[in-house]
Structures are given as C-alpha cells and as structure tokens.
Structure 1
C-alpha cells in the first residue's frame, strides 16, 4: 500500500480492518479500547489462515517440506522483530505467550539467580501489575527490597526522585516505557544510562510503546525489553522478550521440556543455544508468524508516521475533553508529549456507568483500574475511564465519543441533581 498526503492514515487503512465495519447496539462501532488490545488487519488474519491451510507443521523438528516452510516462516518473524526494534541479532528475540510471561522469564531466570537479601529493585508507582507482581514474588523469595519512583506535579516519571533513590545496592530498574493509564512517555534512555552508571540492569515494558513509537533497543541501551503482539495488530497468545546476548546466555532456562535442549540423559541435560533455550515445547507457531506479519504491516505504514498522526488525534481528543467541565484527565497534557490515550473521571459518575452508557451508543472504552491499582490509589481515584486511540481511528470517531460522553454526563447529572 502506498500512503499519500491527501488522506489520513486512518482513511487509507480502515478497509483493512473488517471488525471496524459493524454496528454495536444499532450504532456504528467506535473502538477506543486500543490500549487493551488492537484490532487485526486482513493481512495478519490471512497469514494465520495460510499457515493452517497450507503448511501447518511443527517447527525445527522435521526435514519434510511443510516443517521446513513453517520453520522458515517462524524464524523469519524473529528476524522481522529484531529489525523492528533494532536488536543486534535475532538471537536476542525470545518468543513468549505475552509480555507478562516475558517479564516472569526475567524475574525467575535472572532475578532468583542474581538478587540477594538487601539488593534493591527500582520500579514506579505507575507499573502495570505484570511488571509489579513478579518482582514482589522474587523479593519475597530473595529478600530483595522494592523501591518506587513517584510522579511529578504533571503526573510524569519523577527523574529527580529516581536519581535520589538509586544506589550501589540497586541491581535492577524495571520501568514502563509508556504508562497505560497516565499516557506519559518515560525517559527510558536517560533512565538506562543512570542505572548502568550504578551497575544496575534495566528492563523496559514496551507494551504501550511498541505499537505506537519507533523503538531502538541499542539506542535505549536497555538490557531487556518486552512487548505483547495483540496490542500491535498481532494475535493474542504471542509476545516477545528482547535481551542482550551476553545476559541471555548467562541466564538459566525458565522452563524445561522439548525444543530447549541440546542433549538429554537420564540424570542431566544440556541446553540449546539462544534463543531456543527459553522456548520450551511446541511454540505458538501461527501466532508468531502472524506477529511477523503485523510488524510488516506497521513497518509499511511507518512508525514515525503512526506516531505523528496519533499526536494529532491526541491533541484533538484532549481539546474536546476540555469542553466538558466535569471531566478530569490524568497524566501530562499533549503539549508535553504523551501517548494516544486519555484516562479520566467525570465527577461522581462511576466509570463503569459511563462505559455502559457509551456502549449503548456504539462507543467502546475501558473502565476500571487498568491493571494499575497502586497507581489509582496514589492518584486517589478508585477507577478511571479510558479512551485509547490507534492509527485507524479518526477525528469523526472522537466527535461521536465526545457527543456521547456529554450526553452521559448530562444524564447522570440530572439524576444526581
């Protein structure tokens, strides 16, 4: 597909997404829950079907034609992902079921091996539960201490506080790149440089950045980075871990079984080289191939173009939200740079009630704590509503959302008096 200047990206790609062309509760669907999961283009859906219809076979284990074709496609996706994030080698890409599994891999294979009592792990109050609970479990087992970076007055990562928290005892800094609730874009390159100065390792949760921003792991200089395929036009059940080669080589296997071995004896085993050491059992072959297709699709559009278009949408979204006096948004304003989402409250109206009313208008948003309960407690908000955008969304959809939101706020206002 060739992208022109006359039409927006959304105008040019919406036909690729069959799910967007339907009615929900008698109204055209306006899908604004992209931070939870993205929709999938036909290009990706067809790759899944092609695999099962044309060359369904296990990878790495057969010399017959179908197995060879499946292996080539599976490993080809690894190469695509490594280029997408500018890894130094495809061997630095490990497939996982999702980012949660990838973080757990690091927590158990590296954390349990390297962390000791009194060692420090620095996280933030904005972390998704997936980048919090594994480190709580590891800290309980090792005696490591968890420390947390809080927020600035603009509800962003407090870099100065981070500098005051980090010490020679700090062994790991694990931080989200883009907050799924606040929308702030954290300075991961600077965080990485500071952490490495103290000899600490760095893990980046890129679930909300990989779909929206150009990523360069060598420029960030992180030691690990994780992402989930389903948020970046790929299928569910597949994600990846990036890790520096020498660090992955030093880590023991996360799970045992087939595929991750070199030789097996009754009393011991030796393990396969990277990345297969961390990929036990039959992998999610179709899903991995489809994730490679999603990377192709995003690359064809251009991550820089996606980011620029979403910046325009985000500015418009916040302009329109500001026209509703009852709405309180969280995180920095678009002028400071932020992701294409808005978490908000509307006075005493419960976000679940807002979401239910909006659904009747065909508008899909999120309501709840967004797997960031500690952050919501920090913000003194029980829950928030969240509208999150992607490159196939339009200004017209934002208009429908805002009009429906105004009606919902007015409706509940009349009830509350």
Structure 2
C-alpha cells in the first residue's frame, strides 16, 4: 500500500502530527500505523484519566527548565509552538482547558476521553487512515521512498514520521539505519522505603526540600507519604533529574528531607526556643507546630526521643537540637522505586544531535521525522511531556507540508 506520509505510532504525538499535516495539505494520503488494538492508550490513562494536556507556563525560557533532557534543543521549537498555541488549538476544536493551582492544565470535562474523541473525530474528518494491530517489523530506505513492513503487510511512503515513544524494537530498527540511541532508564518514579517514621502516615503531604546524599541532586515541592514510601511533585522532579544517576546506584541511596522547606536548622532552633517561652506548660504532642500536619509533627518529635507527655518547659537545649535536626535533616534509606501511577516515562531515545530541531527531521536521513518520547527528551510531571509531543508534532507536520 502506498501513502504520501506514514506516521508510525498511534499516540498523542502521532495523531497531533497527522491532524496538523492533513490540515495544512489536504491532498496528502496519510496513514497512522499502531501496533496495539487501541490508539491513544497513554492519553487515556494520563493525569489519572483526566489528561494533563499542558502546563500554564507561557515563557519558552521558563518552560524549557522542566526538561532534564531536551532543555537546550526545545528552546527554538517552543518559540514556534508552545502552551498558548496548544490552548488555542484545542479551543478551536471546541475544547476548553482549565488551569489548576499547580499550573497543570486539563480539559474542563476532566476526562481524557474529550481529547481522544477530538483526535479521532479530526482524523476521520480529514480522511486519515488509522491501521491498528500493525506492528512494524522493519523500515528500509529505497531510492526515493521508505518501505515499512508490518506483521500484516508492506507499505511505502515518501516521508515517514516515527512517534512510537519508548519502543525498543523501533530504536533497534533505527540503529540499523545508523542512528544512535541513548539506552532508556525510568524517569518518573516514586521512592520505596520502610522507615518506621512514615508508618501509617500514608496520605499526609507537606512542602519539603530534598537532597540525595553524596550526589548533586536537589529538589523541592510537595512531598507525599505513601504506603510504600515517598511520592509527590518534589520526589518526581528529583527522579526525573536524577534518572541516570539513580539507575546507576540501582535505586539504593540516602535521601535527606527538610520537612520545613527552606528553613535552616538554626532558624528552626530559634522557633523552638520561642515556642518553649510561649507555651511552657503545654505538652509537645498536643498541638502541631511549624505548620506541619499534626500526625507528622507528633511522629517526628517522638522519634527524636521526646516523651509522649513532655512539656515545652522541660526541653533541654540538646533535645531542641535533636528536634530541629529531625525536622530539617531527616535521612531516609531508599531501597527501590515504584512506577508513578500508570504513567511510565523514560529517559533515553534518539540522540538529540542527530535531529534538526527546526523541522524534527533526521540529520542522517532525508524525509525521516521524529515526534514525542522516541527522542531523548523527557520532562518532570505536570503536562510537559505532552507539550513536547504537541510541539514536535506540529513542527514536523509544518515541515512536511511545506515540502509537498
């Protein structure tokens, strides 16, 4: 079967590329090849089933700071298509987005089906063929076109777009075409620990600063205690920036947590002295202090060696130092990781120096394009990975449309 453009991968990046390409040149015969029995499956589960479409960051120089891999390369593309363009794109198709307190943007419907229905309707309107259960076995470059073999049949096209995400089989095919692949490692994950200080505290959240002991890895943000350890935006940010380093140490390391955010041990000591002066006869465990959740405050001071019924007046200077340290320099032994919800993001993919980021075309092969996580680009959680998919898909589509 012959097409003008074949897009391999029926996910967010693949559909966005196909739709924008068909809109810019409605004469093109376009097909999307998807190996699974369903398309857009990752869109369906993203954001807890609500689809975190993008993030309310409207300055390219600020937006790129959320990409541990791809920061430099995305600067130019984000000047061409970024958050505001994404919002307008969906708006033009009748989908309003809303912004939550943390900057994440979702469809007003709070359902990923809204985005999926939009993509499927647009693909249908534009005559894009969607071929499911087509697992690509090989890609061969002939004189003037590409030949794509799947488990069902052979296709040919002048141009192809690879939007297959973290797919080792496709990476292997690309290596045969002399592309270099940075080996993938998990990027967004939570930390496992069986520390007694966290027992039965699942669900408690507080703003914290975090450091990996012995590494130049730091983060800050909401910290969530879970049944298996630690999660929340602060942890996920740390996991993204430390993806390779933490993989190298097999996810066994020491995490230092400051449960009071940016307050220093000395500043906390002064506040404890003030509390001792203000509430001399009050038991420490009666009321939470320093804006910590009560159960967390109580657990941390008890684990610092304070008696259940001890009053503030009885606190020695040594005890106050122990409390201050327990709150600002708590060390947790991390033993392993867990996937964040059902969202699996990897660091790894096509080496970025082999891609022209004005067009998202391969520098090694003319008429071969990439979009989304197939590239060695990944972001922290919050809608940034989708924004990379939209930007890459749009620019690849524009570049292909211009050539025809």
Q: Which has the larger radius of gyration?
A: 2
Report the TM-score when normalising by structure 1.
Answer: 0.22
- Please state which structure has a larger fraction of its residues in helix: 1
- Please state which structure has a larger fraction of its residues in strand: 2
Report the TM-score when normalising by structure 2.
Answer: 0.23
